[in-house]
Structure formats: structure tokens, C-alpha cells
């Protein structure tokens, strides 16, 4: 009986093998999904129009600037390119002082009048000086105007875009909420400041870990995101 049973098992095994041969290994190169992994030497920080005249009218302006300051510090510590714009500074004032750009002599805000940060000057700079950068981390105001236009233009120029949702705002929280939905539907990654900072580090063995960890030891200030989600 044992011999008969073993012969039966071998017979079934042959049927299964012949019917469903082993799958050959598949080379996934070129078909990998873009999951938005952040790598410092391929990423740049864009800070959009964080100007003084917006302080009394943009929701959570001080908190947005404070979180953008964290992003600026992290980007500089990781030797990432930083682009800062000012929308019509003659009328809307200069970048808020607490952002701390005066500490960095190599940063000079770019003046603009169009809504998008993607001026010919800035796109030309990114392509010529930083050709390896394919990912933009975006903060600023207003979410539904200059930030949204910037995000869409960046996508059209083949950049991945990570929108730091706790570092962007508008005068209206409704405009802010629907701008986020609009950008997400177009392919923008929505994320938070802490997620970006830790994602750039990749782990505690990074040589800048202790320095950058200080930025997030205290939780980022509230910028009304939970109240926005409760409206849905």
C-alpha cells in the first residue's frame, strides 16, 4: 500500500508540474512604481511667498512660517538646494523674518509676478545647476493659488512633488482643503513636515541625525488640518 501511495503522489506531482511550470524570475527594472521615496541628493526645497503682508490674512501664518523654517534648516543641513520666491515684494513685502533666511548667505529670494514659482529663471537654474534633482518639496502660500500653480507646473516639468500640508495655507480653509484635493488628484504626494524630515534622513545612522532630530523633538504646531478633514 505504501508503494501504491507513493506512486500516486509522484503521479500527481508530475501533473501539477506539467500543468503549471515554475514562473521565470521577472526583471522589474523600468516597471517599478514611483512611491515617492525621498533622497537628499535628488531633492530640493521650494518655499513659496512667505511674505510679511500675508500675516494678518492667511490662516495659521505664524505656524506655517515656523514649520517652513524647520524645513529650511533640515534642507540646508542636508546640502539640498533651496529656492525661495516673493510675489511682487514692492506691494506684498519681504519674506517673514522668522523664517531665518538671513542665516544663509547663499539664499536670495527670487522676485516674481506670475503665480507659479516655475519662472524661466528658476526652471533654467534647476535644469542647469541641479540636473540630478527630480523631486521638489513644496511649502508656502497661498495653497490654492501660487502653491497649486507651482505644483502643477513642476509636474509638467517632470518633477515629483511632495506638498508639506502643515507648511501651506490660504486665507480660506475651504480653498486650502480643495487645493490639496486638486493637487493630490494630479499626482502630488501629500505629506507632513516630520514625515519629510525623517524620510530624508532614512535612519538614525545618518551623520546629520542628531542635529536634525532637534528640529522635531517638539511636535510641529497645529495648523488646522484636523478641522479641515472633519468637514469631509
132 catalytically annotated:
no
> Residue 229 and residue 232: Cα distance in Å, rounded?
6
pLDDT classification of 156: cutoffs 50, 70, 90: very high
Break the chain into its structural domains and give their ranges: 40-225
Class of domain 40-225: alpha beta
Q: What is the mean pLDDT of residues 112-121?
A: 98
| pLDDT given at position 227 | 82
146 catalytically annotated:
yes
Q: Rounded to two decimals, what is the model's pTM?
A: 0.85
Strand partners, 48: 85, 140
Q: Check 48, 118, 139, 146 and give the catalytic one.
A: 146
| pLDDT given at position 9 | 39
Q: Are 133 and 157 in contact (CB under 8 A)?
A: no
pLDDT tens digit sequence for 69-91? 999 999 999 999 999 999 999 99
Q: Check 49, 76, 118, 168 and give the catalytic one.
A: 49
Give the DSSP letter string of 23-68. Answer: PPPP--TTT--------GGGEEEEEE--BGGGTTTSTTHHHHHHHH
H or E element, residue 5: helix 2-19
222 catalytically annotated:
no
Q: Can you list the positions of beta strands (E) in 53-112?
A: 82-87, 110-112
Strand order in the sheet with 160-169: 110-112, 82-87, 43-48, 135-141, 160-169, 189-191
Q: Check 48, 76, 112, 139 and give the catalytic one.
A: 112
| pLDDT given at position 33 | 80
Amino acid at each position: 500500500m505504501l508503494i501504491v501511495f507513493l506512486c500516486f503522489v509522484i503521479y500527481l506531482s508530475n501533473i501539477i508540474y506539467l500543468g503549471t511550470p515554475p514562473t521565470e524570475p521577472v526583471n522589474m527594472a523600468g516597471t517599478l512604481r514611483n512611491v515617492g521615496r525621498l533622497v537628499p541628493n535628488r531633492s530640493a526645497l521650494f518655499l513659496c511667498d512667505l511674505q510679511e503682508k500675508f500675516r494678518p490674512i492667511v490662516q495659521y501664518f505664524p505656524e506655517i512660517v515656523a514649520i517652513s523654517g524647520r524645513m529650511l534648516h533640515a534642507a540646508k543641513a542636508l546640502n539640498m538646494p533651496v529656492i525661495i520666491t516673493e510675489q511682487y515684494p514692492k506691494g506684498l513685502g519681504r519674506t517673514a523674518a522668522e523664517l531665518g533666511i538671513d542665516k544663509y548667505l547663499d539664499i536670495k529670494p527670487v522676485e516674481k509676478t506670475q503665480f507659479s514659482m516655475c519662472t524661466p529663471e528658476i526652471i533654467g537654474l534647476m535644469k542647469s545647476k541641479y540636473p540630478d534633482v527630480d523631486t521638489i518639496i513644496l511649502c508656502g502660500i497661498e495653497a490654492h493659488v501660487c502653491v497649486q500653480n507651482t505644483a502643477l507646473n513642476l509636474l509638467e516639468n517632470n518633477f515629483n512633488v511632495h506638498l508639506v500640508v502643515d507648511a501651506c495655507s490660504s486665507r480660506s480653509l475651504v480653498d486650502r482643503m480643495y487645493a490639496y484635493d486638486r493637487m493630490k488628484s494630479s499626482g502630488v504626494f501629500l505629506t507632513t513636515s516630520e514625515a519629510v524630515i525623517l524620510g530624508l534622513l532614512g535612519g538614525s545612522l545618518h551623520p546629520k541625525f542628531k542635529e536634525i532630530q532637534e528640529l522635531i523633538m517638539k511636535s510641529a504646531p497645529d495648523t488646522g488640518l484636523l478641522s479641515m478633514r472633519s468637514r469631509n
